[in-house]
Structure 1
């Protein structure tokens, strides 16, 4: 059922129809949705013009891969039971954005919202971005890779509008550009956050950092070492580099069987993380479980499996959806009854990103760029958007969401969220 719905949604996008809000279509690779308030709704901000030709405009770029899913005549390339996995994340982000559109419409917010397939042929993207019509855009939101992020960030600077990078946790080599906003915190931010978390909770204990060889692993170590030079509370860290095929005996050399051990996994590799946690669980016990602190990539690991029993797992994440939240529960229930499936985190990200920044655009208009730190209109979590200053040039490189959550799980159950 879920696959059929996704195929139908892709087909609608390819044909230029967007549900659930009525749509007027722009040429491929874009579809356009206009939100219009009911007469009983609250009137929009006085900064927002109400005629349809002068509405504030938002452009959403997301990877739909429509050209690879449909042939030149518009026919779907796969059978009805098959769905191209590479289209899932981009389509789910757009589905969340559609929920935001529905909410904004009910609240009386008038906007023109355009969705573009960032994976459309390059010539089409070039023509789109160079066009005068696109230059009237007031806000850009993107689910992008580093190359796309750099291009849209540079374009946003020339247009003097914000570009919200919704998912990529990287600066994409962008410098001296306060129009660029990173919602998914960078590795540097996570490393600093983990160090501070350790300072707050385990400052007096010996801490072992197990890592593997690799460029990213070296970057993690450098970030820890760099921050350590600037902080008054130094941690008692011991760095251990493990071979690719490490065993439980190798870990046991550094652990104390008489007490709880505190371990940090200094790698973003999920495979390394799973092996490490499985081995540490075997060296742990229910009465005094070992503690292992991991990276944001641990969100994708299923810690409910029995091989992680008796191990206390903690990891940092920028996006935490509390299952007890009323709105989150409603979204989950709607997906369950309609599509017989659970919404992915991309659905929630699409919903929250568009809803939050569309409201700020409506509230501040052309002053949005100086009001990005406003925390109004949050849905599921919290953003803490701060300017990032280049320590060499002392210039403002970009904005970044610095909010981190630390999720603690034991035997697969969430015990605490810091």
Structure 2
């Protein structure tokens, strides 16, 4: 099978004889999984991972960027087509003064197995100046990603969208008819977390740690990992409450320290409120609270966390903590403080909620893991670490004796 870029065909333009026999399938909600909302744009459909009501309640640019990046969102259809084209308009993030970031990848799965990868050209560029916090969108054209050489038989095809590029879906073309795939008997796992759950620095959309864990656990993923935005926002809790799911996990902590958003006095009732809201819609669903991974930068040092620009021109971005460990006495949060409080809080609630569980994030990535696979920028894992996280979570959550074990078949 081959994967390639192709120029988008403008409406009304001529096509080659090979293309003349292709079918265009309307892009509709029944072909998409992993999105909570679909916005109709002038180009097509823009998947969102937060509903419109939630988006209307926060004007933060970081959140807007993160929730529009379709981590875990995929097209799913049944066909005997041997060739597939998808026109999209991406919005790629770039940083002023830094080398260009790699293009986002599309993963093509045939009957659950990776069968191809490709990127799309063109698109918009969101240019971010980290020194001022300003951002400017530079418009670009629609591009096309093409997969050919697919097996000539009826099969289920999944196209996982890039986790790090907002992606407007413009047109889907195939050389055989397409139909939606009914949802099977697999359970739905709804996960919320920070940029690590979002997929930061993973190799591709199906190799973010939640996608890997979902594959190993045999479940359908809805990924509400929101880079920089796991901040106990009430609108995110309501989105989790209102989304049908069989299994739910929430990973809490690192962004609260990064942003120096609240003190311990506010943190405890905020977590209670977040979990209370989820329980309004999912009173008996297995709910797993996951504390932060090991991260030396913030284990005992509060935020805020800021970028270190000294090596940005060489393509290296690292982060540094600006807090003082002594400030913990005044209620400033560190990862250690958060883990202690989350463990206590979950134990307290579990007395009346037998389906509530706790997982220490250091069981997924601890000191020994950091020594072997350090965080390249002091905050985010690399591709190898995403694989380890996915395998560990699958074992601890979906494996024998895990909180999701009886629901993940």
Name the TM tier (shorter chain): under 0.3
Structure (1/2) with the larger helix percentage = 1
TM-score (norm 2): 0.27
Compare the two structures and name the one with the higher strand fraction: 2
Larger Rg: 1
TM-score (norm 1): 0.27
